Each structure stands twice: as structure tokens, then as C-alpha cells.
Structure 1
Amino acid sequence: MTSWEAAGTTAQTGPASLIPHPRPAPDPLRGAAVAADPWWMDTMDAVIRTCRAHGRADLADRLARRRARLLHPQLRVLVVGAAQQGRSRLVNALINAAVCGVLPDGDAAVPTVVRHADTPVAHLVRRDSAEADWTAAVGLQSRLPLVPERLGASLAEAAATLPAGAPAHVDVGVPRSLLAGGLVLIDAPALDFPATGGTLAAARDLADRAGADLILYVSETGRRFGDDELAVLAGLGQVFPGLLVVLTKADYAADWRRDLAESRLRLNQAGIPAAVAAVSSSLRAHAVRSGDEALNRESGFTDLIVHLRRMVEAKPDRLARATAGALGRLALQELAGPLRAELENQGDTVSSDAAAHLQATHRRLDDLRKCTVRWQNRLSDEVADLMSDIEHDLRERVKALLAESDEFFATNDPAKSWDEFEPWLREALQELATTSMTWLAERTEWMARRTADMFPPEAGDVLPPTALAVTDGGVLQGVSTLDAPPVATFTPGQKLFIGLRGSYGGVVMFGLATSLAGMSLINPISIGGGALFGGKSVRDESKTLLKRRQTEARNAIRQHVDDIFTKLNKDARDSVRRAQRALRDHFTAVTEDLQEETMESLRNAKAAADRDTAARQAHGRRLREELTRLAELHAQAQALTDRARA
């Protein structure tokens, strides 16, 4: 096979630190290589402090755990991949020991951690929870010893004693020179493909709990990476620099060199910084059994072992810098995202509560100005209508009363029935005045309510305490007595005179008629005709005098009622004017109070809006300053990655 070849994107170089930080106390876990380049710890500490300052304790805790692991001399390599891709066989071939995939359903087996030990040793480690850190120390009761010589059967027996679903992993120690330098191999469960949204998160969480420093991704040679698999690789490569992709079962591939080149090309096109190699676990096992060094090199494991040893040596220096830089950049990007979104959205938050209150207050003030014009117009229109209606009502009531009095005196003699008629007329006029003024008071209240309806609902009840008080002065307190009209008396002398005057014509007319018959001018017939004509003259004169008395009574009544109507009409108009002035003064005072209240609210809203604007501007400055600080830390993290790849 060809020699080892690393492929992937690289980053630009830059300064290790842009902002001087106080030097922390000496770390007892620092080695000589770390002491030569301590800036990655300063940068990572600054990022952790920033995460805590931004309220991201979860992110700070993850970074703190990775920082502590970077200071540990071990290089923990997590071997992951899809099912049935040869992960366990790869680990077994690397250490030349059958310690992984020893259960019948190998891909469903518990994870296996392989480390160096002077003598073979194995334990089934039960963790407190699925989120527990694998590197944390556990008590003896959580470590079930296994028999290395029959690891599969012993593991099956121990696993059967655990509750279903209990989190556990196998810890195996073997005496191997490859592991003696600090290399730890972790055979992880298979990843689910096609990948869902939680596959990458599950892989990252597994790597975090397992304390992985490096990811070794296993896939069969000739198997094309799917888009979902590339997405998982890209996500793992962001968090774990030095991502290693190993193509297994190369001895079964028709043209493994072409498959290797295509895999490198596809990873490069996807922007995944990963080294790629092709190996054959079968050739490795056969070469070890036969002691064939050439076949061992042909299997690809020689170059893979060399690369892993170099990564162990590079952990305190290059790998630590690259990891710190990558983790710092990702954490800072995660912190900066909400800040940038908040800063961008700050321009869209002009309609804040204070600004919205200011706009609403301006609208209320404009509505109040329009309301003033509306209620003034409404009051003026209502007053004009009320004056017209009250005068028309009075005229109709007076007309009906006069018609009734005319009908009464069409058959009755005022000289005989006046004492009966006058009290009725006085009561009718009093009732007319009371009814009219009561109706006026009701219309005044209705007019007040109609005018109050012009005010906005938020003004509340703006009616005056009582609208009737403004009309009390217009109600008649009483109607004066109407004296009987003067009646000319028809004396007996007048009757005798009228009778004689009328009888004269009768005597003459009948005397002349009887003289033709030879009778004298004065005879019984002419005297009887004279008496008849005299009586008729007296009766006619009596009727004429009655008609005259009736006419004079009706005229006197009409004159009296007209006087009452004039007084009532004036009182009604005066009452309407008083009501208008009272309502105008009341609603003007209400409007002034509302305007003053609205103006005060407007001043407060303007002050609140100014304070809100100043606060938002200050907050925007703080956001920009914080983003600038995050950008400086991001540049430091990028510089660590650049120096690691230089």
C-alpha cells in the first residue's frame, strides 16, 4: 500500500494572543512541551470565563472538561462509524488482541476502552447515568471484574447481572508498546445511518462523555459517503481537529487506490479537514501470525500506527493548540450569534413599549382634538333641533287647546258658563306648560348624552351630574286667572224698544194688507203681526248679542293663550340656552382635563421613549463592544489553529 497521507483544509497563521492576560498559577499537569507554548490555555481560559459571563455555564463546563483532558498525557481515540464497517476488528488488529466485539452481536456490544496495562486486566464499569463522564473514578462496587482469557463469556455473564439499559462500558488493559505511550482506544457503538438530526449530537455527546481527544472514523473501502454521513463528519471535524478517516477491508476492494482517492476528493469538496487511509485488518492479522513485515506494511497498519504515535506526541503541543482553537472558535461563534441577531434586530425594535406608548398618546391627543370639534358641532346641531322642536310642540299643544275652547263656546254662553270654563282653561294651560317643560328636560338629557357620545370610550363617564338643573328656571310656576270678557246686558227697556221697533213694521205691513179689504190700518190682524215681528226682533237681537259674547270670549281666550305661549316659548328658549351654556362649559372643562391628562401622558411617554432610545443605544454599544471582544478572542483561537497547522 501507499504511505500515510493526510488530507484536509488548512487555516492561515496568526499571532498566538492579541490581548495580554494575567498569567495563571502553574498547573501541576503541564508538561515541558506545554510550558513552551502556554498561550492556548490562556485563550481557552478566557473563552471559558466569557462563556460564564454570558450565562452559558453548560458550554463553559464542556470547555473546562476538554481543557483538563488536553492537559492529560493520554490520547483517547474514539473509533466510530456505521454498523458492520470493521471498527472492532480495526482496534483488535491495532493491538493484536481480540478485546473488542467479543459478544455474538458485536455491533450491539457495550463500548470498549482499551488502554495499557502491565498485565491483561478487564472490568465492566457501570456508570451512574448515561451522562456520566467515563474518565471519572468509580467505586469498586461499580467495577465488575472480567476474565481476560475468556473475555466474551465473562462479559456476557457480567452484563446479564446489570439492569436492562444500565449505562456501562468495558475497560480492558493489555501490555502493548503502542498503548504504553499513552494511547487509549475506545470502540464505540455504531452510529445510526441514515443520520437524523440527533446523530451528530449523539456522536458529540458520546465523544465528550468518553473523554475523546481524537476521532477515528471507520468506513468500508469502496463505500461512498452519503450526504448525511458527510454532515456528521463535518460536525465531528469542527470539534475534534486531526479527524482520521480509515477505510477498512481494502483487501476486498477491486481498486482500493481509486476508492481512497475518491474518498479524499469527496471529503475535500465537502470542506472536511480529515486524514484518510486504507487498511486491511485481515492482512494485518495474517502478517502478525506469519511474522511477514512486508505484508504488515501492505496492510496499511504500519503507517496508521506511526500516525497515532505522532498524534500522541503532538497532543501537548499541536493537537492541544488546534483543539483549543477549534473549541474556542465554535464557542465564541455560538456566543456571538445571539448578540449579532439582537444587534440586527435592534433597529426593528423601534416600536418598543415606550415608543408604542408615545405613538398611542399622540393618537389619543389627535383623537381628542377631533373629538372637540365633533362634540361642539353635535351640541350646536342638537340645540338648533331642540329649539325648533320645542316651539313646534308648543304651537301644536296651543292649537289643540284653542280648538277645544272654540268648540266649547260654540254652544255655551260665556255670560253663563265662564265660571265653569275658566278653571278648566287655567288647569289646561298649567298642564301644557308642565308637559312641555318636562319634555324639554328629557330632550336636554338626551342632548347631553348624545354630546357625551362624541368622547372616546377611555374618557369614561363625562355626563354632567344632572342635566335637569339647567332647565328648572324655564318651568311656569303658575298660570294667571283670565277674567271674563265684558258682556253687554240686554235690559227690559232695550227689549221693549227693540220689540216696538220691530212691531212697527209688522203693524204697517199687515195694516196695509188689511186696508185693501176695507179694514182700518190699526186692526187686530195688524196688531197681531206687529207683536209677531216685535218678538222676532227681540229674539234675533238676543242671538246677535250671544254670538258677540262668544266671539269676544274666544278672542280674549286666544289673546290670553298667545301671551302664555309667548312666555312659554321664551322660557323654553331661555332654558335651552342655559342648558347649552351649561353643557358647553361642562364638556369644555372635561376636554381641558382630558387634554391636560393626555399632555402629561405625552410628556411622560416622550421622556420614557427618550430613555428607551438612550438605553437601546447604550445596549447597542455594549453589544458592539462585546462582539469586538469576542472577535479578538476568536482571532486568538484562530491563531492557535494556524500555529498548530504551521
Structure 2
Amino acid sequence: MSVQPVAHTATRTPQEVLDAAVAAAHAGGRPDLADRLSATRRLLGTAPVTVQVAGGAQQDRTALVTALLRAGSTRPSFTFADPAGALGTAVDAVVLAVSAARVLGPADLDLVRALRHRSPRILLALTAIDRYPAWPGVLEADLARLRAAGVTAAPFAVSLDQHGLALASGNPSLAASSGIPALARRLDDIAEQAVLGTAWTAAQEALEAVAELAAAPRPGGRRRRTASDRDEPDPGRARRQQVLADGMAAASSDVEFDLRSRVRGAVADAERVVEASDPTRNWDELDAWLRARLTYEGEQTCALLGARAAAITAALERDLGGAPLPRQEPAELSDPFDGQPTRNAPLGRRKPLAARSRGLVMSAYGGLMMTLVLPRIAGVQLPLWAVVAAALGTAVLLGAATLSGERGRRLETSRTRARALIRHRADGFLLVAGKHNRDTLRRIQQDLRDECAARERAHPPLARSHTPARSGRPVDG
């Protein structure tokens, strides 16, 4: 009997592999499996590789993206959207554009702390290196400040003007020395890694689909068997494994979204309190309230996790039959703030006494001079007592305005620091609670898988007996 040649599939694209798997699922009478593979196929074709470009002025960011596109970096999709707090939408990479004219300041570091939650890949693009010869020292200082802030960034020194001149003159060596091609290649590598990750997911989906089709043949189909066939494996095992895997994936997504949403709401409420009060006076109360609020939100997320685990357990019970499965209770979240560094109250910086006194004296002196000089310039003759009273009143008013402005500046500084402390507290809680939830889901999944395997060993499926044929040739069953 001749064997039909099989098409070589080693060089097939992930899209072609998924198309073949979808066709096999339809042929095997599994429209649900075909729909799932089709969704993965659409994801493979439409999932963008997004790069967040932040820092600097809008004009500088636009010029940097234009240079990267001209350098051939067309695979990623660039966005300029400002980060919506520490819990913004995830991206594949972040490019922080900073100028070589100065070292990173507190505002830049706050921006980086917010952006690092969007992507673990942060690229530091130091621009205008052709204008500032001391840029190596600035770059080293920037990296040191980022390391002190707990952020790891890949440095790239670039010159937009030099790259534009190189393109205009057709000078490849000048373009390479501008640093833009190196940054573009790095972004393309990140895009390639993201595409490979998506392709790996598609391959896993295809392999799981093949395993399901092999374990559960099409109902009502004709089976060709030989006389040497033995007992078939349990077709429900693959189905239960799929129910467990899909249920845990959905539960993980729901729990993660719920936790982030709750933390974001707690941070917003705390910042509203900061805007309406003086955090230097009630910081201890606000910090205690924030701890209690975050702990409560974490407990609510754990309750959601328990409900999702109970639903998965119930689905497996219906499939297995028999005695109920042991209930999987999530472990309690221990103190999520244990180990976090202690932060001082957000006190505003007060100017030295000499500086404050000088400002007060200058304001009062200015008021006196205006009251004494302006009537003479205008040619108005006023009694001496009126001039003195007006001078003293003006001096007092200007001095009071100076003191009020100083208090307002200190209040705004303390509020800015309080908001930073609130975000730091929320970030630490999110890391601890997120890891706790992931570990709990992993433990529950392992326990349920082990319990299902034990049930299968204790109550194996009924074997299907086949009438032996006289020869080893396949016969229709």
C-alpha cells in the first residue's frame, strides 16, 4: 500500500498552523475548539507591539519617533499618551526621552516610577548629545539616579540633528554615530520577541487542540481499529484539564483586574483627602486609613478568588461525578506592609530664618516706599499722620501676603510629597497582594489537578472491548 506524501510543515507560519488546526477541529466535530483557535488566530494577526514614548516636550518626542521611523523601526506602534498613574495600561516597552542639558530631576523620577509599572523594559534616550559635550557625565548621573530609584534602564545616547544631517547627506557612518539606528534596532528586537511570544502561544494552542482531538474523537464518527487495539484512555481527562486550565486563566485575569481597580480607587480617594487637607497635620491618620483600606480591598479580592475557585471546583465535580471535591479556600493575606521601608511625614521645606526675614523686611520696605513716594510723584499733599498710617498699613499687608505665600508653597510641597508616599504605599501593596493571589491560584490548580488524578486512578473509566479480528488489518468498527 502506497503512503500519501505529507506536506512539509517545518517552515509554516503560525497563522498557517492555526488555520490547519481550525480545519482539523471543524472536521473533528469540535466547533468550540475551532472558535477558540480562531480567536487565537485573530490575536496573532492583530496584536500590536506598543512602545510608550514619554519625557521631554511633545515636540521632542515627536521628533524622536520620526527619526526612529526614518531609521526603519516600523514594527512597533508608538504612543504619546501620558501615564494614568501607577496603574496604567501595559505596553511592550517605554522610551524615556531626556535632554543632555541637565540631570534627571524629581519630576522625571516620579514619571519613571509610574512608567515602570507599564513595562519592565525601559529605554533611556539621552537626546541632544551633539550640543552638550559633557553628556557622558549627565548620562552616568541619570543612570545612578535611576538605580537609586530602583529602576533599570538601557541607555541610548542619540542626536536627532546629526541623524537628520546624515540622512540628507547619505552618510551611513554619521547616521550610526547618531545613536538612532541602535535604538531602532533595539525596539525591533523587542517587537520580534513579542511576536515570537505570541507565536509560541499559538503553537501551544495548536498542540492542545491536537491533544483534545486525539483524546476525544468526533461523536458518531467511524473508527478504524485493529485486532491489537487495547482499552482506550478516558476521553474526559483532556476535557477536565482544559476546564481547569481555562478556569484558572479566567480567574487570574478577573482577580488581577479586580485588585488593580480597587487599589486605583483607594489611591484616588486618598489623593482627594490630601487635596482637601494639610497632610503635615493628619498624615498618621491618613496613612493608617490607607493601610486599612488597602487591606480591606485585598480581602475582597481574596473573596473573589475563593468564589472563582469554588466555581471551577463545581464544574470539575459535575464532570467527575461521585463525592464532592475538597473545597479550596484561599490563604489569608498576611500583613502586606511588612518589610516596606518607613517613610517620614510629608513635611514642606521651610526656608532658612534669614531668608524668610529678608523676604518679610523687603516686602514691608517696599510697602513703605510706595506709600511715601507715590503721593509725591502724583503731586498730592497728605497730612503726615495719613502718610504714616498708609505706609504702616501697606507694609503690614505686603508682609502678610509674603507669609501667606510661603505657607501656600509649603502646603503644596507637602501635598506633592504626600501623593508620592501614597503611590509608593499602593505600589508595595500591589506587588505583595498580586504575588499572594498568583501563588494561591497556582496552589489551588495543583491541588485540583492532583485530586482529579487521584479520582481517575481510583475509578478508572470502563474499558471498551473490541472483537479481535483474524488479521492485523484495520477493520471498520
TM range (shorter): 0.3 to 0.5
Give the structure, 1 or 2, with the largest relative contact order (CA under 8 Å, sep 6 or more). Answer: 1
Give the alignment's TM-score, normalised by structure 2.
0.43
TM-score relative to the length of structure 1: 0.33
When Rg is computed on C-alpha atoms for both structures, the one with the higher figure is: 1
